[in-house]
């Protein structure tokens, strides 16, 4: 007896394969208009992908840049100004804020970042934080995978505790007057209406406070494409060929659009040769 369903699956996989649901990378339904929550999580995932595809990025950070950091730490400690090498690191969000004493480290990190297509200032700040943590005694380091990632979000939460609390009451069930099945259905229907009203109300409150729906992406593996292109230098066309081997055919333009979208959210300028790849 022929297994028709199995043959249909082999012959027309795209017709029976379920469509992927978009992913809210922030893990939340709403966020600030600048997409700050999505950007924070995107940067975290970006560095996990860098570790996966290009562990040499971290290895090279622990070569010349770390040696220079240790040298500067000794020099600044002798003058009592080594606090410049310690948190908070958000004071270095602008490249001009590093100051003359940190200029050699900034320039060294800039060379390192340009080598890997990671010369955006936020990448340099993460590298700076990572050097600081790497210079701590091993038992004081919080990171177990190399990178020191600490991101802050700046927004005002409009919700009070009482706004978020969900309560539900029902008059109850008298088994001498109603069946269990009928009562169960009534309770579930009543609670569903109550729950929808609760969720709708909080969504309206978020919208009225100026928050917007969180960014959605079709597939998180598009971050893989970004790392392969930006860090590994793989052309868009080669990424498209590689990705098409394990899924439906993907065009060069499709890869280009996805990579540019993620790079824009990250705040990561694409490498200079991107247009020709």
pLDDT tens per residue across span 103-140: 999 999 999 999 999 999 999 999 999 999 998 888 88
Q: CA 127 to CA 192: how far, in whole Å?
A: 48
Q: Please give the DSSP secondary-structure letter assigned to residue 28.
A: S
| Whether residue 31 is found in the same domain as residue 114 | yes
Q: Does 60 fall in a domain?
A: yes
Cis, peptide link before residue 88, omega less than 30° from 0: yes
| Whether residue 42 is found in the same domain as residue 64 | yes
Question: 51 and 145 in contact (C-beta within 8 Å)?
Answer: yes
Domain boundary among 208, 230, 250: 208
| Whether residue 258 is found in the same domain as residue 128 | yes
What domain range is 52 assigned to?
23-153+216-271
Q: Does 17 fall in a domain?
A: no
Residue 2: predicted pLDDT = 28
Q: Is the pLDDT of residue 15 over 80?
A: no
Mean pLDDT, residues 227-244 taken together = 93
| Whether residue 195 is found in the same domain as residue 171 | yes
| Whether residue 74 is found in the same domain as residue 193 | no
Residue 276: predicted pLDDT = 59
| Whether residue 61 is found in the same domain as residue 115 | yes
Residue 172: predicted pLDDT = 94
| Whether residue 243 is found in the same domain as residue 185 | no
Identify the weakest region by mean pLDDT among 20-34, 53-67, 205-219, 226-240: 20-34
pLDDT classification of 16: cutoffs 50, 70, 90: very low
Domain boundary among 167, 183, 208: 208
Dihedral angle over CA of 40, 43, 44, 50, nearest 10: 180
Q: Is the pLDDT of residue 204 over 90?
A: yes
The set of residues, in sequence order, having a beta carbon less than 8 Å from that of 42 and lying 6+ positions away, is 25, 223, 262, 265, 266
| Whether residue 168 is found in the same domain as residue 39 | no
Provide the sign of the torsion angle of the four alpha carbons 119, 121, 122, 127, taken in this order: positive
Residue 10: predicted pLDDT = 27
Determine the distance from the C-alpha atom of residue 179 to the mean position of all C-alpha atoms in its chain, rounded to a whole number: 50
pTM for this structure? 0.80
Q: Return the percentage of the chain with pLDDT > 90, whole number.
A: 62
| Whether residue 241 is found in the same domain as residue 184 | no
Question: 57 and 75 in contact (C-beta within 8 Å)?
Answer: no
Residue 26: predicted pLDDT = 87
Question: For residue range 55-81, what is the model confidence (pLDDT) as tens digits?
Answer: 999 999 999 999 999 999 999 999 888
| Whether residue 175 is found in the same domain as residue 98 | no
**275 vs 39 pLDDT, higher one:** 39
Give ∠ CA 31-32-33 in degrees, rounded to 5: 120
The domain total for the chain is 2
Domain boundary among 191, 208, 225: 208
If 0-12 CB within 10 Å is exposed, 13-18 middle and 19+ buried, where does residue 22 land?
A: exposed
Residue 105: predicted pLDDT = 95
């Amino acid at each position: 007896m022929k297994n028709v369903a199995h043959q249909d699956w082999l012959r027309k996989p795209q017709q029976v394969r379920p469509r992927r649901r978009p992913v809210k990378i922030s893990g939340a339904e709403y966020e600030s208009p600048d997409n700050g929550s999505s950007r924070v999580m995107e940067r975290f995932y970006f560095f996990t992908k860098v570790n996966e595809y290009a562990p040499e990025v971290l290895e090279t950070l622990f070569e010349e840049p770390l040696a220079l950091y240790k040298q500067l730490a000794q020099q600044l400690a002798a003058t009592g100004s080594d606090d410049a090498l310690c948190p908070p690191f958000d004071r270095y969000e602008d490249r001009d804020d590093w100051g003359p004493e940190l200029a050699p480290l900034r320039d060294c990190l800039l060379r390192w970042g340009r080598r890997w297509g990671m010369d955006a200032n936020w990448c340099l700040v993460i590298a700076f934080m990572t050097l600081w943590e790497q210079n701590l005694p091993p038992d004081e380091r919080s990171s177990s995978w190399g990178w020191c990632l600490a991101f802050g979000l700046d927004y005002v939460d409009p919700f009070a505790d009482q706004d978020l609390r969900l309560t539900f009451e029902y008059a109850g069930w008298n088994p001498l007057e109603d069946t269990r099945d009928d009562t169960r259905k009534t309770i579930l229907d009543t609670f569903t209406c109550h729950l929808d009203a609760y969720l709708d109300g909080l969504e309206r409150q978020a919208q009225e406070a100026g928050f917007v729906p969180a960014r959605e992406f079709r597939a998180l593996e598009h971050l893989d494409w970004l790392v392969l292109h930006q860090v590994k230098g793989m052309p868009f066309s080669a990424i498209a060929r590689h990705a098409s081997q394990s899924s439906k055919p993907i065009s060069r333009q499709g890869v280009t659009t996805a990579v540019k979208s993620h790079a824009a959210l990250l705040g990561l300028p694409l490498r200079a040769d991107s247009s020709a790849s």
